[in-house]
Chains A and B, each alone.
Chain A
Amino acid sequence: MIEEIGTTEQGDLIINVGPQHPATHGVLHLVITLNGETIKKIEPHLGYIHRSIEKMCESLTYRQFIYTTSRMDYLSSHINNHGCALLVEKGLQIEVPPRAQVIRILMDELTRIASHILWWGAMAMDLGAMTPYFHAFRERELINDIMEETCGARLTMNYQVPGGVMADIHPNFQRRVKDIIKQLYKKLPEYDELVTGNTIFKARTQGIGYLSKEDAISYGVTGPSARASGVSCDIRKLYPYEGYEKLNFQEVMHTGCDTYSRYLVRMIEIRESISILEQLVDNIPEGDYQAKTKAVLKLPKGEFYTRVETARGELGVYVVSEGGTTPYRIKFRSPGFSNLCALDHMTRGQKIGDMVAIMGSLDLVIPDIDR
């Protein structure tokens, strides 16, 4: 498949990172051309976990195809489900009850917090600090417990369905969300002490992996990675869905353009998400948690596109419908795939250790890239 690789004619060393490598967090395969320790070129080879979800979805109904999307970016599976549910609702013009909307936002933000916290641990681990990973898991477990109580699953929730959510929230839900908010307020300063202010961490991340605003847009980088380069791209602000426009939160931006600013953006985003949780957790309206929908959903003929802000960036769902019960063609514009495009550009001329830091700061989830 890949030609026998040793050294190039110029005497550069070619090294395969992955598909099984601790830094790639999954089965990503990078072929790196090295000059000593300096990276000359990175070439990603994908497909080790490609399941062709897009093709599978062509034979699944509009109720079924949502479940495959939990398996794309498994760290923000709620938000993936949300995007697909929004698309079906847009096509059928289903009015989602206010209670369902609030529950959806709560779940999305919990997912975002869990994802960012896990990323924080993984980023520190990439840079050689093992301890933060375990601390990160402590809080993530609590969030997963909330998910488990209400959704019945800890990772691939499949909780958001066309018309609302699958089931009502658990009676403990509000209490436990408040608990986790309290816990996070207590532990986030600890996170900062352990990693954010660390001199070695700063030296490893500041000025590394520069991605200018123009490049970020041109490479299609979205999410916290792009916002750290000063690109305003938060879908929740730009194209609000599900009542995000009524909420009071900031679009976190930074102009540092480097790995450290990408780190800071995510850390502040955790706090913004907590503030959204605080605004909503006591104000869940009464009413239905799901709109009445037909048993068989048939989208009208045409094209539909929805986008949502996942923990990694903009997820676009593009559906071409022929009026049947299954999509004619579906395309997921996944944030990870576009973010990966910029990797080569950002790592040129940096060291191997920087490559790991930069890849960590892009927050790549491999099933999201491969789909």
Chain B
Amino acid sequence: MWSLSKITDIIHSWLTETFNPTWTLIIEMVIVGVGVIGLFAVLGLILVIMERKVSAYMQIRLGPNRVGPKGMMQSMADTVKLLVKEGMTPDGADKFLFNFAPFIAMIVAMLLMAPIAFAKDFQIWDINIGVLYITAISSLNVIAILMAGWSSNNKYSLLGAMRSGAQIVSYELSAGLAILVIVVLTGSLQISDIVAAQANGWWIFKGWLPAWIAFLIFMIAVTAETNRAPFDLSEAESELTGGFHTEYSGMKFALFFLAEYINVFIVCGIGATLFLGGWMPFHIGNWEGFNHVMDYIPSSIWFFGKTFFLIFVIMWFRWTFPRLRIDQLLNLEWKYLLPIGMVNILLVTVIAILKWHF
């Protein structure tokens, strides 16, 4: 059967036969780079149209339905519109930082793609500190937002950026603690190890209570980290009009917009990898027949299916909940999620030492 790993193997062996190792590496890097940018664009388009369709469904509307079949090309048309728009830079802005900020947001999102396992043996970089790498890189995102908010020379942007800074920095902790739970259970920081450890059952089933709590905390924390409603205080359109990207227009705005959606995809991908088994099919104990049937579904479908399910959950949050206030947001983190997360770590350590999990 064809799988993504086979394709990569074929390309790799063909390249090693044709070129010397250095050129092979360079060509592979180029292929990966083009692949990531392509995936970026495609994911952005898909997620935007998905969000619009999901929100339309929840708001008893039709959503975009003019461009292409059932409006599916709408986000393409929007991209073209944004591309040809004039990118304005306000007079009082710090020009360099203002123009640089969207690219940081974008680069951070791209870097995060590296250790994610999209399918069986299909991973750009299986670094041995994969989880640590993700938490480290994703916290750089706040720099882009602060930079954008500060350099815009707009009070709304500044307030939005300050809110966002406080928010991302605090919720990083909870997300980190939730991730640690799985690291403790697996005993490895490497993404491929974490996925492999879930061959006989996903952590959300095997990890008992601590894994459930960690999953809940993780979902809440990453919703906040990606600045999505109900934690979208940094852009809170009814309070701060646009938050940190009030002054952005054209493609620079689109980069922020795209980075937001890619971040949502990435955090959901990580959530799926850590808690829902990544590309690992759904297996139940030793039901051979059932497991065999599940194995027939390609691993990439498993990964993307789980990820998009989590993305749908996050969109569901967005279109049903009102927004929190800044102090409530920080209270939630520092007074509830963080203590719970810490106790949870203790609990999972006990469970892991006593080998109570499956």
Spell out A's residues near B (CB within 8 Å).
Answer: 13, 15, 21-23, 37, 124-131, 133-135, 138, 194-195, 198, 200-201, 203-204, 351-356
Contact = CB atoms under 8 A, between A and B. Distances in A.
A129 B325 contact: no
A131 B316 CA distance: 11
Contacts of B61: 134
B238 A203 contact: no
B232 interface: yes
A129 B241 contact: no
A15 B323 contact: no
A34 to B, nearest CB: 8
Contacts of B321: 128-129, 198, 200
A342 B62 CA distance: 41
B59 interface: yes
Given A37-B163, A134-B61, A201-B322, 20 more contacts: A15-B155, A15-B159, A22-B237, A128-B229, A128-B238, A128-B321, A129-B320, A129-B321, A130-B55, A131-B319, A194-B320, A200-B323, A200-B328, A203-B325, A204-B323, A351-B325, A352-B159, A352-B240, A353-B326, A356-B239
Nearest to A24: B238
A21 B236 CA distance: 12
The 6 closest A-B pairs by CB, nearest first: A128-B323, A134-B59, A127-B322, A353-B325, A129-B322, A23-B238
A202 to B, nearest CB: 10
24 contacts: A15-B159, A22-B238, A37-B159, A37-B327, A125-B238, A128-B230, A128-B232, A128-B236, A129-B229, A131-B55, A131-B59, A131-B319, A135-B59, A135-B60, A194-B320, A195-B322, A198-B321, A200-B323, A203-B324, A204-B325, A351-B326, A351-B327, A353-B239, A355-B239
B11 interface: no
B58 interface: yes
A316 B55 CA distance: 42
B326 A128 contact: no
Interface of B: 55, 58-61, 155-156, 159, 163, 229-230, 232-233, 236-241, 319-328
Nearest to B236: A128
Contact of B60 (A15, A128, A134): A134
Given A128-B230, A138-B60, A21 B241 contact: yes
Contacts of A127: 238, 322-323
Nearest to A130: B319
Contacts of B55: 130-131
Nearest to A202: B322
Nearest to B325: A353
Interface centre among A131, A135, A351 (most CB of B within 10 A): A131
A15 B322 contact: no
Contact of A124 (B159, B232, B322): B322
A208 to B, nearest CB: 9
A50 B322 CA distance: 33
B322 A200 contact: yes
B242 to A, nearest CB: 10
A353 B320 CA distance: 18
A15 B159 CA distance: 10
Contacts of A195: 322
A226 to B, nearest CB: 25
B93 to A, nearest CB: 16
Contacts of B237: 22
Contacts of B163: 37
A134 B236 CA distance: 19
Contacts of B239: 23, 352-353, 355-356
Interface centre among A13, A22, A194 (most CB of B within 10 A): A22
Interface centre among B155, B156, B237, B325 (most CB of A within 10 A): B325
A22 to B, nearest CB: 5
B159 A204 contact: no
Contacts of B58: 131
B155 A198 contact: no
Contacts of A203: 324-325, 328
Nearest to B319: A131
A21 B60 CA distance: 26
A200 B230 contact: yes
